[in-house]
């Protein structure tokens, strides 16, 4: 099975402009393709996972990926999927976020001479002359057609700024520029980017009389139709300082029964034959499938050693062994104790398990907190500093979140 057929079998392809041409290019390693990443945070997250895995798969098949960091488009902000305007970031913040992205991408993609490229569209977008851009590029765009694009239609009622209206033109210009300078002949992106991607292929056709291609990747949704990659406390990040390898593992270990096999098919690099055999799994076998999914993805993002640690910790905790060696841990300072004790609400907030005292209060009142295997019954409960000696205190939030607290 060649790479294009494998992508289809894994359910990764949503829409394509010219299927036969795209199949020919990627199966023969002739695609130089790009995927854009807007630097709106200092870490990539699970929402970027599909794109990173696709880049890795296509590079393994001999194609050349370009990771385009939106240092220039980040000054504008993509209106796709938004009901409000994104806040504008400073140049310093954008650059810092770009640097963080590259470090994380290197786990997936091999950069170097003749290999993958990392480009920043600030290098050309910030040098554009406004009048020249209007004459050379603006003339190729129909406002009527632009307003039919889904990303604009959903914003028209609340108001669409002229700043954001230009985003499509900027993204199209990226493709046009890289087509000419680095031979980029294909763009991949999320299914919500289809209108912007078509704008790029059309600009190349109108300005250069040549063909370029676009393909969208299936968005990662759960069985309820919601985007995956979020928890009650926010996004699931690839940066271990924002989402620990253990918490990352646990996110995938806890996916729904209806979603686990789809995630294995779309996100892991396990052979399709092995995954096909899993399709008949039921009951307790699905728990095994979840362990496989969690381990494979944690290994991909954080390395084999961290994946082993996370799996051992999870098995020990849920198997009743209580091994807390690799559990997420917070080190408390003596200053956090008053008269040698710390209140349970302050403990939960200090460990990052609750965002506020109000949230901690509700969690305790709902019976959702256990400390050292004893349910916390009162919001006034407190723990002596001596309790945190040795192996520390084990806090359980809800049914599945474990955390250790020790004293410095």
pLDDT in the model for residue 238: 92
* DSSP assignment string, 38-49: --SSSS-BGGGH
Q: Is 54 exposed, middle or buried (0-12, 13-18, 19+ CB in 10 A)?
A: buried
Q: How confident is the model at residue 233 (pLDDT cuts 50, 70, 90)?
A: low
Give just the sign of the alpha carbon dihedral 332, 335, 337, 340.
Answer: positive
Alpha-carbon distance of 334 to 318, in angstroms, equals: 31
User: If you average pLDDT over residues 361-369, what whole number do you get?
Assistant: 91
Altogether, the residues listed in the chain come to a count of 408
* DSSP assignment string, 171-234: HHHHHHHHHHHS---EEEEEGGGHHHHHHHHHHHHHHH----EEEEEPP-B-TTSPBSSEETTE
Let me know: does 313 contact 329? Beta carbons within 8 Å: no
pLDDT in the model for residue 76: 65
pLDDT in the model for residue 369: 92
Q: How confident is the model at residue 273 (pLDDT cuts 50, 70, 90)?
A: very high
Query: Which has the closest alpha carbon to 188: 32, 319, 344?
Result: 32
Domains in the chain, start-ordered, CATH in brackets?
Answer: 3-217 (3.40.50.620), 230-318 (1.10.240.10), 329-407 (3.10.290.10)
pLDDT in the model for residue 80: 47
Q: How confident is the model at residue 292 (pLDDT cuts 50, 70, 90)?
A: very high
Tokens of 344: 């349970």
pLDDT in the model for residue 102: 86
User: If you average pLDDT over residues 308-316, what whole number do you get?
Assistant: 87
User: If you average pLDDT over residues 367-390, what whole number do you get?
Assistant: 88
Q: Does the pLDDT value for residue 353 go beyond 90?
A: no
C-alpha distance across the termini of the chain, in Å = 56
């Amino acid at each position: 099975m060649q790479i294009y057929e494998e992508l289809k079998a894994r359910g990764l392809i949503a829409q394509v402009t010219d299927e036969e041409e795209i199949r020919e290019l990627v199966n023969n390693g002739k695609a130089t393709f790009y995927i854009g990443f807007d630097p709106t945070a200092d870490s990539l997250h699970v929402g970027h996972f599909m794109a990173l895995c696709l880049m890795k798969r296509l590079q393994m098949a001999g194609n050349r990926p370009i990771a385009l960091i939106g240092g220039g488009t980040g000054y504008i902000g993509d209106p796709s999927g938004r009901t409000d305007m994104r806040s504008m970031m400073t140049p310093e913040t954008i650059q810092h976020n770009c640097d963080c992205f590259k470090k994380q991408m290197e786990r997936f993609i091999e950069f170097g001479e003749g290999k993958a490229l990392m480009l920043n569209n600030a290098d050309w977008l910030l040098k554009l002359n406004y009048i020249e851009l209007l004459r050379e590029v603006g003339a190729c765009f129909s406002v009527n057609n632009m307003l039919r694009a889904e990303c604009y239609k959903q914003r028209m009622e609340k108001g669409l700024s002229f700043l954001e209206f230009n985003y499509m033109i900027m993204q199209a210009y990226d493709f046009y520029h890289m087509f000419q300078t680095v031979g980029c002949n294909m763009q991949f992106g999320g299914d919500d980017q289809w209108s912007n991607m078509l704008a790029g292929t059309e600009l190349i056709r109108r300005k250069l009389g040549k063909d370029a291609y676009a393909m969208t990747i299936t968005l990662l949704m759960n069985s309820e139709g919601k985007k995956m990659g979020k928890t009650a406390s926010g996004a699931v990040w690839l940066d271990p300082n924002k989402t620990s390898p253990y918490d990352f593992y646990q996110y995938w270990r806890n996916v729904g029964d209806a979603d686990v096999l789809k995630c294995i098919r779309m996100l892991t690099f396990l052979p399709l034959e092995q995954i096909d055999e899993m399709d008949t799994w039921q009951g307790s076998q699905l728990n095994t499938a979840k362990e496989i999914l969690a381990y494979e993805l944690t290994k991909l993002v954080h390395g084999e050693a961290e994946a082993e640690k996370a799996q051992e910790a999870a098995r020990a905790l849920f198997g009743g062994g209580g091994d807390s060696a690799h559990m997420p841990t917070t080190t408390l300072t003596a200053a956090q104790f008053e008269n040698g004790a710390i209140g349970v609400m302050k403990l939960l907030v200090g460990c990052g398990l609750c965002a506020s005292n109000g949230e901690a209060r509700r969690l305790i009142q709902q019976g959702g907190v256990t400390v050292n295997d004893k349910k916390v019954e009162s919001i006034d409960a407190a723990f002596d500093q001596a309790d945190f000696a040795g192996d520390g205190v084990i806090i359980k939030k809800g049914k599945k979140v474990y955390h250790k607290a020790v004293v410095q």
